[in-house]
Structure 1
Amino acid sequence: MTSLTVIMAAYNAERYVSAAIDSILNQTYTDFELIIADDGSNDKTRKIIDSYTDPRIVISHNQFNRGKVATVNSLIEKARGQYLTIHDADDISRLDRFELQIAALVDDCQVDMVGSNYISFMSNRLMSTSNLPLDSEMISSFLEDRKPALHGPTTILRMKVLDKVGPLYRNFTHGEDIDFNLRFIGYFKAKNLCDPLYYYRMNKTSLTKSIRYFNNERVINSDLIYKLHGIRLRTPNINDLEKLEDVKLELLQKTIKDPSYPFRFGANYLYHQGLNLNSWLLSVKSITNNPLDFKNYVCFMEISFLTIKSEIRNLISRKKRFLNIHEINKK
Structure 2
Amino acid sequence: MKTDIFLYNKHLFNDNTHFNSWVISPDNSTDEVGQIFSPSTESTDLLIEIANKVTSDYFFLQVKTGNISFDDANLIEWLTTTRELGSALSYCHYWQHANDEVTRHNVIEYTEGSIRDDFNVGALVLIKTSLLHEYIKNLQEKYLYAGWYSFRLFLSRKGSIELVNNYAYSTYETDLRASGVKQFDYVNPNNRDRQIEMEKAATHHLQEIGALVKPPFKEVNPDQEIFPAEASVIIPVLNREKTIADAIKSVLAQQTDFIFNLIIVNNHSTDDTPKIIDSFNDRRIIHHVPQRTDLGIGGCWNEAINHEACGKFAIQLDSDDLYLDETTLQKIVDEFRRQRCAMVIGSYRMVNFNLEEIPPGVIDHREWSDNNGPNNALRINGLGAPRAFFTPIIRQLQFPNVSYGEDYAVAIAISRQWKIGRIYEPIYLCRRWDNNTDSNLSIEKINQHNRYKDKLRTSEIRIRKTMSSKIVNKKSTTC
TM-score normalised by the chain length of structure 2: 0.45
What is the correspondence of 1:148-187 to structure 2 with a 5 Å cutoff? 148-151=382-385, 154-164=386-396, 166-167=397-398, 169-172=399-402, 174-187=404-417
SS at match of 1:217: helix
1:204 aligns with 2:434: yes
Q: 1:2 aligns with which of 229, 253, 258?
A: 229
Matched residue, 2:465: 234
Matched residue, 1:273: none
What is the correspondence of 1:66-145 to structure 2 with a 5 Å cutoff? 66-78=295-307, 79-94=309-324, 95-109=326-340, 111-124=341-354, 125-127=356-358, 128-133=361-366, 135-145=369-379
Change (3 A) 1:108 1:66: closer
Shift of the alpha carbon at 1:62?
4.0
1:21 aligns with 2:248: yes
2: CA distance, partners of 1:230 / 1:135: 19
Higher strand share: 2
CA displacement 1:64-88 (0-9 Å, x = unmatched)? 5633222221122114311111221
Change (3 A) 1:195 1:38: same
Change (3 A) 1:129 1:138: farther
SS at match of 1:210: coil
2: CA distance, partners of 1:201 / 1:211: 20
Shift of the alpha carbon at 1:230?
0.7
Aligned residue type for 1:137: N
Change (3 A) 1:213 1:122: farther
2: CA distance, partners of 1:86 / 1:131: 16
Is the 1:135–1:191 Cα contact (8 Å) retained in structure 2? no
2: CA distance, partners of 1:174 / 1:156: 17
2: CA distance, partners of 1:100 / 1:38: 27
Change (3 A) 1:102 1:215: closer
Shift of the alpha carbon at 1:199?
0.4
2: CA distance, partners of 1:74 / 1:46: 17
CA displacement 1:206-248 (0-9 Å, x = unmatched)? 3554344644432221110100011111225xxxxxxxxxxxx
SS at match of 2:364: coil
Shift of the alpha carbon at 1:31?
1.2
Shift of the alpha carbon at 1:90?
0.9
Shift of the alpha carbon at 1:138?
4.8
TM-score normalised by the chain length of structure 1: 0.64
Is the 1:142–1:149 Cα contact (8 Å) retained in structure 2? no
Shift of the alpha carbon at 1:97?
0.6
Is the 1:116–1:192 Cα contact (8 Å) retained in structure 2? yes
Q: 2:453 aligns with which of 222, 235, 260?
A: 222
CA RMSD of aligned residues (A): 2.3
SS at match of 1:71: helix
Q: 2:280 aligns with which of 52, 59, 65?
A: 52
2: CA distance, partners of 1:147 / 1:37: 26
Change (3 A) 1:105 1:162: same
What is the correspondence of 1:283-302 to structure 2 with a 5 Å cutoff? none
CA displacement 1:16-39 (0-9 Å, x = unmatched)? 111100100110125111111221
Shift of the alpha carbon at 1:175?
1.2
1: CA distance, partners of 2:395 / 2:269: 32
CA displacement 1:248-286 (0-9 Å, x = unmatched)? xxxxxxxxxxxxxxxxxxxxxxxxxxxxxxxxxxxxxxx
2: CA distance, partners of 1:174 / 1:80: 23
Greater C-alpha Rg = 2
Gaps of 5+ in 2: 1-227, 468-479
Change (3 A) 1:220 1:210: same
Q: Percent identity?
A: 21
Matched residue, 2:95: none
2: CA distance, partners of 1:138 / 1:121: 30
Aligned residue type for 2:249: D
Matched residue, 1:194: 424
Aligned residue type for 2:252: L
Higher mean Cα deviation, 66-75 or 116-125? 66-75
Higher helix share: 1
Aligned residue type for 1:7: I
Matched residue, 1:34: 262
SS at match of 2:380: coil
